[in-house]
Amino acid sequence: MSGFELSAIWLAWVLAGASPGPATLGIASTSMALGRRAGVLFALGILTGGATWGIAAALGVSALMLANAWIFEVLRYAGAAYLMYLAAKSLRSAMSDKPGLTGKTQTGTPSRIYAKGALVHLTNPKAILSWGAIYAITLPPDASGADLAFMFCFLYTGGVLVFLSYAVLFSSGKVVQGYTRMRRWFEATFALLFGAASLKILTTRIAA
Q: What is the mean pLDDT of each run of 10 residues along the chain (208 residues)?
A: 80 80 86 89 95 87 63 69 76 68 53 92 78 79 84 93 92 76 75 77 61
pLDDT value for 196: 79
pLDDT value for 162: 92
pTM value surpassing 0.85: no
pLDDT value for 150: 92
pLDDT value for 104: 37
Distance CA 126, CA 134 (A): 12
Sorted by sequence, the CB contacts under 8 Å of residue 199 that are 6+ apart come out as 80
Sorted by sequence, the CB contacts under 8 Å of residue 115 that are 6+ apart come out as 45
pLDDT value for 189: 81
Q: How many CB atoms lie within 10 A of CB 118?
A: 19
pLDDT value for 103: 36
